[in-house]
Structure 1
Amino acid sequence: MSRAILKPARRSKPMIRRLISAAIGILTVAVLTAPPATALALPTPKDFVSNLDLECFKTSPYQPPATTLTLRHLNPVLGNLPTEQVTLGPREQLCVPVAKNNVLPPTPVLEFIRYVDLACYRIQGASVNTQLVLSHLNPVLQTLPRQQVTMNAPQHLCVPVAKNNVTPPAEVLSLVSHIDLKCYDITPNTPLNLQLGLRQLNPVLVDRIPAHSAQVAAARQLCVPVFKAGDTVPSAVVNILRWIDLEKYDILTQATPTISLTLRHLNPVLGKLPVEQATIGSAVQLAVPVAKNGQFPPS
């Protein structure tokens, strides 16, 4: 009597790939939402800055109370620029940390980067007309050629906030609460013409905004580190802050969910400002780390 031979069913390759992708997604969410187990040492300037990518969302309109700040440049390349007073105008963006092309920051520095949320307010100031050469720092973009730009007038001041009362751990707060970036218009507005995959890193958004693609277009701004008068910053933190230079590019993305958030200022100088309500929709810009004039963050 003949006996039928049964062959084990094989899963198709597309199904296997989908299962692997789903498993990676679940693992990533678990990593990004889990709190650190032990106290964290400050990262090196190179590790922190080169892995800092921020996706910037247009926010609902909001005008903070009249606030005038005195700003001084921290980066050595711009140390000769004068101190400047600015007044906070309307809030226009919220910039939040992302990973590009599923390349996550190393675990120690990830615990700091995931809490870098910056609210960006319109400001006005004098044009500085400064020529610079920019080099990309992030591993995904560092093979791109250097670019020459002219830094013109300031347009935004981006300051640290916490979303929905999710406050960073103390050692993380000691760094991220002092990140103040003054964003200048730059020319030429050279397009990057590159498509990237973006994934949220912050615990509040990691499971609310799905991973998505972004077409990176023209360069618009260079955001450079400044010190606000009245702030007290430890020297070890200053040594990291002074190297945070981010170049902002326009991006085109698919529609993402509209999300309502509560924003609270983290920097002591702005700590008395009221809590803000913000609604974000689709992203409009991507800020990526660069070095100026061949001066790179130390390891």
Structure 2
Amino acid sequence: MSRRSTLRGFAASASLMLVAVLPGAATAAPAVPPPLPFVSQLDLSCYRTEGYKPPPTAVTLQHLNPVLAELPPETVELGAREQLCVPVAKNGAIPPPGILDYARWVDLACYRIEGGARNFPLTLSQLNPVVQRLGIQDAPVTMLSPEQLCVPVAKNGELPPPEILSFVRHIDLECYALRVLGIPGRPFPLTLGHLNPVLADRPKTEVRVGDARQLCVPVAKRGDEIPREVLGTVRWLDLAKYDVATGPSVIGPVALKLTHLDPVLAHLPGEEVILTEPAQLGLPVAKNGRIPPRD
């Protein structure tokens, strides 16, 4: 090889190394998170919203989780929006890199729906390490009628990176009323801090977690083609919604604009919402001892 060719080779290598360390240089996209590491770290703080009602929209839902896979499909009409659920960390425990990259973008708008009673007996087990350390016992429950459909949205036009959008846009949760059997658990305190960039400057909130009111389980909407690697994780995303109480707030409300991310609902218009204080907290659970796979 000539001296000139060698110098050109060194120059090309140096250029590649420089690009790799420059701020803003392209980096490898994080892989789709595996089921248990992702699900166990996803906590959603749910805020009541004013009763905006979208244009008439019917969707057909099919259960994804193995425990409920034999339940038949059901067609529901979207009613008034009741909540916006946003990702939070508990007691300062931030999800690890690779999980946080995805969890921080899971924002769900929840709309009223109606459907037939399931009366499905289940036992719920806590998955999040912070809650597990509090010694919260397994809870026998009965899953009753569907009350809400929670679908992915973006806030203030701030979209996730493309590789993360292709994951979170397929997260749809159908929330059922619960009948909790046995003695209700004792309320327990948590400190919640926002993870999503749009709300990252909001102060932490002290809450007391009370009774479980709903179980939100993963569903697919007819017409949504979920990639296999995404389905492998989102099918395990079960959240139990608990009532929370907060102290008097000195923080004013925050106004947001919502954009639908789900491919089936992308035609719906943007929405406006005002958040004040959280009303519920969604905590990850397993049903009937079926723990999500670790990888």
TM-score (ref. length: structure 1): 0.86
SS of corresponding position for 1:111:
helix
Does the Cα contact within 8 Å between 1:44 and 1:298 map onto a contact in 2? yes
Determine whether 1:210 maps to 2:200. Answer: no
- Tell me by how many angstroms 1:105 deviates: 0.5
Structure 2 counterpart of 1:193: 187
Structure 1 counterpart of 2:137: 145
- Gaps (5+ residues) in structure 1? 1-33
Percent of matched pairs sharing the same residue: 52
Structure 2 counterpart of 1:284: 279
- Gaps (5+ residues) in structure 2? 1-23
CA deviation vs aligned residue, 1:266-296 (integer Å, no higher than 9, x gap): 0000000000011111110000000000101
Matched length:
265
- Tell me by how many angstroms 1:61 deviates: 2.0
Quote the Cα distance in structure 1 between the aligned partners of 2:206 and 2:292: 29
2:259 to 254, 258, 264: 264
1:109 to 69, 92, 99: 99
Partner amino acid for 1:240? T
Determine whether 1:223 maps to 2:200. Answer: no
Determine whether 1:53 maps to 2:43. Answer: yes
SS of corresponding position for 1:269:
helix
SS of corresponding position for 1:60:
coil
Does the Cα contact within 8 Å between 2:190 and 2:209 map onto a contact in 1? yes
SS of corresponding position for 1:197:
strand
SS of corresponding position for 1:127:
coil
Residues 1:36 and 1:56: Cα distance change in structure 2 (over 3 Å): farther
Determine whether 1:295 maps to 2:272. Answer: no
Aligned Cα root-mean-square deviation (Å): 1.5
Quote the Cα distance in structure 2 between the aligned partners of 1:191 and 1:90: 31
Quote the Cα distance in structure 2 between the aligned partners of 1:291 and 1:241: 13
Structure 2 counterpart of 1:24: none
- Tell me by how many angstroms 1:76 deviates: 0.4
Structure 2 counterpart of 1:100: 90
Partner amino acid for 2:221? K
Structure 1 counterpart of 2:245: 252
Structure 1 counterpart of 2:63: 73
CA deviation vs aligned residue, 1:38-67 (integer Å, no higher than 9, x gap): 411111101110000000001122000000
Partner amino acid for 2:244? I
- Tell me by how many angstroms 1:201 deviates: 0.3
CA deviation vs aligned residue, 1:147-172 (integer Å, no higher than 9, x gap): 10000000000000000000001111
CA deviation vs aligned residue, 1:87-122 (integer Å, no higher than 9, x gap): 000001000000000011111100100000000000
Quote the Cα distance in structure 2 between the aligned partners of 1:63 and 1:118: 15
2:163 to 171, 177, 180: 171
Does the Cα contact within 8 Å between 1:36 and 1:111 map onto a contact in 2? no
SS of corresponding position for 1:173:
helix
Residues 1:170 and 1:185: Cα distance change in structure 2 (over 3 Å): same
Partner amino acid for 1:273? L
Residues 1:238 and 1:44: Cα distance change in structure 2 (over 3 Å): same
Does the Cα contact within 8 Å between 2:139 and 2:180 map onto a contact in 1? no
- Tell me by how many angstroms 1:192 deviates: 4.3
SS of corresponding position for 2:36:
helix
Structure 1 counterpart of 2:17: none
